[in-house]
Amino acid sequence: MAAINSVTDLVVEGDLAVLTLNSPPVNALSYGVRDGLALGVAQAIADPAVKAVVLICDGRTFIAGADITEIGGAHKGATLFDVQSIIENSPKPVVAAIHGTALGGGLEVALTCHYRVAVPSAKCGLPEVNLGLLPGAGGTQRLPRIVGAQKALEMMTSGQHVPAKACLAMGLVDELVDEGKLREGVLAFASKIVAEERPLKKVRDLSDKVEADRAHPEIFAAFRKAHARKFRGFLAPEYNIRCVEAAVNLPFDEGLKVERKLFVELMSGPQSAAQRYAFFAERQANKIPDVPEDTPLIAVNTVGILGAGTMGGGIAMNFANAGIPVTIVEVKQDALDRGLATIRKNYERTAQRGGITAEQVEQRAGLITGSLDMNAFADVDLVIEAVFERMDIKKDIFEKLDAICKPGAILATNTSALNIDEIASVTRRPEAVIGMHFFSPANVMKLLEIVRADHTGKDVIATSMKLAKKIGKIAVLAGVTPGFIGNRMLLQRQREAQKLILEGAMPWDIDRVLYDFGFPMGPFAMSDLTGLDISWIKEKSKGETIRDVLCEMDRRGQKTGAGYYDYDEARNAIPSPVTEKIIQDFVAKSGGNPRKISDEEILERTIYPMINEGANILEEGKALRASDIDVVWENGYGWPVYRGGPMWYGDQVGLDKVLAKMKSFQAIMGDQFKPSALLEKLVAEGKRFQDVTEVTALSRQPLL
Ligand code: 3HC
Ligand code: NAI
């Protein structure tokens, strides 16, 4: 075997040249890979003994895309276009051999090969949209020429990874070969095309699909309309659509020009910068400085859940979906029956929508069993407690768990705000106790805050982080602090939203500003959805807040047909004259002096205190890094990904500007706006949150 460079080898076997890439972890198209490809294919073409070239990868995957770390940076070596041009114009057939994932630039390289072969477990996709981009190496023009506009639109705007079998059906892959036998399979395929003297198939020259689509321009308007809600605020989906339109309506080279122009625009814009940051932030969140990668893991093959309420049921579904059996324990039979029935209903609803098969409903629901006896937890590897949010109840339960559970079992609590050190203190094994803070609905929401208490063992942390990935969650490590990362910051926004309606803004003004910023809904619409009466007690209500008054009037949110808003039959929220009057009367009674509040003030009053609280959290060592806080907000609270999370957003606005505003609010309204010491320090040093280095052990050591 001859090395082309440090990541590419070329070997000639009979009349076939095999070019192998090996650039861990994912064979991304870094400059070394591009150079290796360009040189390797050229060398194979020049070799008179070679009749066809096979492109294959070592390691876990085919090329998973451009090297995202290089995007937007200075260019080195051969360009991707050089590589593609050498491959596509090769006088000898080039065959791509796909395993793992062929994504982004990886699939675009494969699309310039004359044939594509894959193993059944392989997947292909153009996920650039998730990085705020579009496929910038001809993918937008080639994909529609194979699969047609509709499928190309779906793939490019969702970024989905399409399984090999579906790729074969679409013509994206020419042949499937046996799993684990890619090399043999592709060599046999290449020999066959040589023997049959098959023509060089260039995707760029295909025209039947796009010509047929040209007669149906309505595809595009319909697609935009159907996905308007999902695409709201994002630039990349629209730009991807425009590229497919260009593929349908323009000659190939003209379409490429459109692609290039729009790609460059996206790449240099703020949305893609934020989305690329989010990609790495999510992966960084898994790294815990004092919990090394090789920390021994605890095997989690069975799970116990205490409480079959809103959270317990959803949490159980996550594990069953991953094939892990769950036992749910409740106090009363009717609560257990209700919980299990809700789980089944949820699965059936997913099946009705085509998400899973009827067989999967049975299989998953069958993995969840109920009991009224906590002794059922004697042998489970992990227990997650999800009962009422009361310290006395939780302590009582953890004492019992300590007595019942086997040594080595992980004892987790789903508390949303209680002190986990205090909960752990009642056990003889505080090292086994950890917070697993799921978000509602727990079977849907991606975020999982893993809360490290004072004595939590490193193996328990490492296992919990890995387990999160296994059940499809994005985990972030937090320290013990009221509300952990997300809810502690949310409290700031809630407080300001409530204050603002007493100062002259209406709930729908605040909701509109935050919706326009990119949140799926504002705080008042959210309150109406979840119910205004959560933790409201009728007997204790004294009409001291707007919420008290609304609840007393039975305006408790969507479930009672009215809350902050009125609702029509279709559950559309309508600004309510009743609420407006309640607020006005309330303000008049309390001697308030309502004023006109600008949208700018609403945004700054609700967002800046959150950023400031994020800085406090960081400074106290309750989050490892600013990007972890951003991962929390993007995946648990609907922060628009294209704005990169509150800390990233703060950096973009300029921390000096955030600090100045906090100071001016503080001067008028008091110490709720007291700037964080970390914010002051960063501004003084001309630094950003992104410059803050990690807190070593998520300990209580401040960063200052
Ligand atoms: N560039 C640089 N690094 C990458 C990368 C890429 N395209 N894809 C993955 N990595 C890195 C990750 O950051 C991670 O690094 P770490 O170990 O230091 O944290 C490592 O590879 C492994 O990644 P994951 O933890 O995500 O591994 P998984 O096995 O869970 O997933 C994957 C593998 C499905 C390939 C996933 O990494 C992925 O989705 N990658 C991104 C794919 C993508 O978006 N490609 C398009 C890039 S843009 C492009 O191609 C532009 C072109 O059109 C011009
Ligand atoms: P819930 O009221 O819907 O369910 C609690 C269930 O626990 C009830 O079914 C109750 O019968 C059961 N229960 C009470 N004592 C028990 C005991 N000793 N043994 C067994 N079962 C017992 O409450 P929800 O909303 O599911 O909350 C549970 C926990 O999750 C709380 O700590 C809450 O703070 C937390 N949480 C809630 C979120 C939410 O949005 N609802 C989000 C994140 C965390």
Per-residue confidence (pLDDT) for residue 544, from 0 to 100: 87
- Read off the pLDDT of each residue in 84-112 and give the average, rounded to a whole number: 98
Atom of ligand 2 at shortest range from CA of 393: 18
Hey, whose CA ends up nearest to atom 52 of ligand 1?
Answer: 105
Atom of ligand 1 at shortest range from CA of 130: 44
Of 67, 57, 207, 159, residue with least CA distance to 117: 57
Q: Does residue 129's CB lie within 6 angstroms of at least one atom of ligand 1?
A: no
Distance 63 CA to ligand 1 centre (A): 10
- Read off the pLDDT of each residue in 531-560 and give the average, rounded to a whole number: 90
* 563, two tokens: 């809350």
- Asked whether residue 694 carries a pLDDT value surpassing 60, the answer given is yes
By CB atoms closer than 10 A (0-12, 13-18, 19+), residue 70 is: middle
568 sits in which H/E element: none
Q: Does residue 66's CB lie within 6 angstroms of at least one atom of ligand 1?
A: yes
Q: How far apart are CA 592 and CA 194, in angstroms?
A: 85
- Asked whether residue 384 carries a pLDDT value surpassing 60, the answer given is yes
Q: Which of 26, 99, 265, 470 is the best mutation target for the ligand 1 pocket, counting ligand atoms within 8 Å of the beta carbon and taking the most? A: 26
Q: Is the dihedral of CA 299, 445, 526, 484 positive or negative?
A: positive
CA end-to-end span of the chain = 55
Q: What is the pLDDT of residues 294-312, one digit of tens each?
A: 999 999 999 999 999 999 9
Q: Does residue 310's CB lie within 6 angstroms of at least one atom of ligand 2?
A: yes
By CB atoms closer than 10 A (0-12, 13-18, 19+), residue 100 is: buried
- Asked whether residue 698 carries a pLDDT value surpassing 90, the answer given is no
Q: How far apart are CA 58 and CA 97, in angstroms?
A: 11
Per-residue confidence (pLDDT) for residue 154, from 0 to 100: 98
Residue 27 Rama label (left phi>0; alpha psi -120 to 50; beta): left
Least confident of 10-19, 184-193, 530-539: 530-539
Q: Does residue 552's CB lie within 6 angstroms of at least one atom of ligand 2?
A: no
Per-residue confidence (pLDDT) for residue 73, from 0 to 100: 80
Q: Which residue has the higher pLDDT, 32 or 76?
A: 32
Strand stretches in 287-432, DSSP E: 303-306, 326-329, 368-371, 382-385, 410-413
What pLDDT band is residue 536 in, cutting at 50, 70 and 90? confident
Distance 560 CA to ligand 2 centre (A): 22
Distance 390 CA to ligand 2 centre (A): 9
Of 28, 287, 269, 249, residue with least CA distance to 140: 249
- Asked whether residue 241 carries a pLDDT value surpassing 90, the answer given is yes
Are 622 and 476 spatial neighbours (Cβ–Cβ below 8 Å)? no
Atom of ligand 1 at shortest range from CA of 159: 44
pLDDT above 90 covers a percentage of the chain that reads 93
Least confident of 14-18, 67-71, 161-165: 67-71
- Asked whether residue 543 carries a pLDDT value surpassing 90, the answer given is no
- Read off the pLDDT of each residue in 378-393 and give the average, rounded to a whole number: 97
123-125, strands of its sheet edge to edge: 101-103, 123-125, 162-163
- Read off the pLDDT of each residue in 27-47 and give the average, rounded to a whole number: 96
Q: At what angle do helices 236-249 and 270-284 cross, to 10 degrees?
A: 120
Of 587, 603, 606, residue with least CA distance to 502: 587
Per-residue confidence (pLDDT) for residue 542, from 0 to 100: 86
Q: Does residue 386's CB lie within 6 angstroms of at least one atom of ligand 2?
A: yes
- Asked whether residue 696 carries a pLDDT value surpassing 60, the answer given is no
Q: Does residue 530's CB lie within 6 angstroms of at least one atom of ligand 1?
A: no
Q: How far apart are CA 556 and CA 567, in angstroms?
A: 12
Of 168, 170, 205, 175, residue with least CA distance to 190: 175
In DSSP notation, 460-487 reads HHHHHHHHHHHTT-EEEEEESSTTTTHH
**Counts for the chain of helices (H) and strands (E), in that order:** 29, 20
- Asked whether residue 697 carries a pLDDT value surpassing 80, the answer given is no
Displacement of CA 666 from its chain's centroid (Å):
35
Distance 313 CA to ligand 2 centre (A): 10
What pLDDT band is residue 529 in, cutting at 50, 70 and 90? very high
Per-residue confidence (pLDDT) for residue 1, from 0 to 100: 65
Q: Which ligand is nearest to the CA of 26?
A: 1
3-state secondary structure (DSSP) of residue 369: strand
Q: How far apart are CA 175 and CA 186, in angstroms?
A: 9
What pLDDT band is residue 82 in, cutting at 50, 70 and 90? very high
Are 55 and 95 spatial neighbours (Cβ–Cβ below 8 Å)? yes
Q: Does residue 68's CB lie within 6 angstroms of at least one atom of ligand 1?
A: yes
Q: List residues with catalytic annotation.
A: 108, 128
Q: Does residue 69's CB lie within 6 angstroms of at least one atom of ligand 1?
A: yes
Q: How far apart are CA 610 and CA 614, in angstroms?
A: 6
Distance 386 CA to ligand 2 centre (A): 5
Of 144, 135, 73, 78, residue with least CA distance to 104: 135
- Read off the pLDDT of each residue in 208-217 and give the average, rounded to a whole number: 97
Per-residue confidence (pLDDT) for residue 703, from 0 to 100: 52
Least confident of 21-35, 356-370, 687-701: 687-701
Per-residue confidence (pLDDT) for residue 29, from 0 to 100: 97
Q: Which of 33, 68, 280 is the best mutation target for the ligand 1 pocket, counting ligand atoms within 8 Å of the beta carbon and taking the most? A: 68
Q: What is the pLDDT of residues 430-488, one digit of tens each?
A: 999 999 999 999 999 999 999 999 999 999 999 999 999 999 999 999 999 999 999 99
pTM of the model: 0.95
Q: What is the pLDDT of residues 263-275, one digit of tens each?
A: 999 999 999 999 9
Number of Cβ within 10 Å of residue 355's Cβ equals 10
